[in-house]
Amino acid sequence: MELKRVVVTGLGAITPLGNDVKSTWESLISGVSGAGPITLFDTEKFKTKFACEVKGFDPNQHFDRKEARKLDRYSQFAVVSAKEAVSDAGLDSDTINKDRVGVIFSSGIGGIDTFDQEVGYFFQHPEMGPKFNPFFIPKMIGDIAAGHISIIYGFRGPNFGTVSACASSTNGAVSAFDHIRLGKADAIITGGAEAAITISGVGGFNSMTALSTRNDSPKTASRPFSGSRDGFVLGEGAVSMVFEELEHALARGAKIYAEVVGGGASGDAYHLTASHPDGIGAILVMKNALDDANMHPDEIDYINVHGTSTPVGDPSEVKAIKEVFGEYAYKLNISSTKSMTGHMLGAAGAIEALTCILAVHNDIVPPTINHEEGDNDPEIDYKLNFTFNKAQKREVRAALSNTFGFGGHNACIIVKKFTV
């Protein structure tokens, strides 16, 4: 069976760096931090008092009040980003075959804010009995964003969400890629959304000592690969991408950002939350993706790393890159855009895939910000080009995005310049 070619024809975003793709990308290449004090709840009793929130978002500008009440914040983000992506792709509902357009949209946690509110109300008012909002379950579940997007547009193709913690939206994107290249769909809206800057979200990650507590300097708190890193910064938002079969895209005259050429998955089989210290799962997932793309390591120019700014995770990923790429690793550009967006959990893979797509499209690599001269970790090889603090212009023929999730879930996707 001859596999179909898959291209990217539409992008949408609402992130801590901007409420659309243009502003998000401009902030990424300018090295802007999206971190600041948490405004979504009172943090007085919390160890961490800052995060990378989406700013200036009013759901009433995007939904009527009745509709907005049916969507958790994460689903609101998902729908807004999907609308931008579908519009950007120029998908005309009147001319496409909706039976062959799908939605594979992911979230690692789903409607945690809805869960907090509903269960909190129950325990505050036990005399009321088990009185829950009828929209409680459909607002909370992690697949519902895909359902909303499908219903809005009438897309009847493959429709589901993937859950693999912080690898969720990369796994979803790879699944979308597979569906299209196997001929099971003409186009799929894929991406991820998360809105976990909540009492239980921040409290839970704090209890694991996973979050930075650099409350005196939020904007410099996410500092991947620096010696003084002390944990990740929680982010929120959504990114959508339109993946499309090449001939379908060409037939309707669609613009093409990049081509999707490979994807991989692996498991660490090691620990619930920590990556393997020798990067065994990370090595395997990158090799799997390169094999799937039928590419040699020296055909990659940029890696958007998982790079969460945690003490254990960053060195293990560096070891994995050196193992997979050998001496060529020193010719790569590497960057962690989590230094700017924070860790968007189930949406991390989507924002980082978008970054790779635009890096390939524009021949520029966003930086890893917040590294200070001499703030080094002896376990990290600083001869590698981490693109510290300033974007770098270079030809980006192909880019690889790594995402690793709690549970040892690893996923990787590769995009390259489109040529006929």
Position 132 scores a pLDDT of: 85
Assign 3-state DSSP to the chain and report helix, strand, coil percentages, each to 5: 40, 20, 40
What is the rounded CA–CA span in Å between residue 1 and residue 366? 38
Residue 20 lies in a domain: yes
Treating both helix axes as pointing N-terminal to C-terminal, what angle do 348-362 and 168-181 enclose, rounded to 10 degrees? 60
Q: How many domains does the chain have?
A: 1
Tokens matching residue 68: 């907005």
> Would you say 370 and 226 are in contact if contact means Cβ atoms under 8 Å apart?
yes
pLDDT at residue number 133? 85
Domain assignment present for 240? yes
Contacts of 218 (CB under 8 A, 6+ apart): 33, 35, 36, 37, 50, 233
If residue 399 lies in a helix (H) or strand (E), which one and from where to where?
strand 398-405
Contact criterion met (CB below 8 Å) for 351 and 54: no
Residue 93 has what pLDDT?
80
Range of the domain at 140: 6-416
Q: What is the pLDDT of residue 131?
A: 78
- The CATH number of the domain holding residue 383 is 3.40.47.10
Which residue ranges in the chain fall short of pLDDT 50? none
For 418, the token pair is: 């489109």
The beta strand positions in 195-306, using DSSP E, are 237-245, 258-267, 302-304
Residue 227 covered by a domain: yes
Q: Per the domain annotation, does 131 fall within a domain?
A: yes
Enzyme catalytic residues: 166, 306, 343
Q: pTM of the predicted model, to two decimals?
A: 0.97
Residue with tokens 């050196």: 322
Q: Is residue 180 classed exposed, middle or buried when 0-12, 13-18 and 19+ CB atoms within 10 A define those classes?
A: buried
- CA torsion through residues 397, 266, 233, 317, sign: negative
- Quote the strand ranges of 16-107, DSSP E: 36-37, 50-51, 101-106
Residue 1 domain-assigned? Answer: no
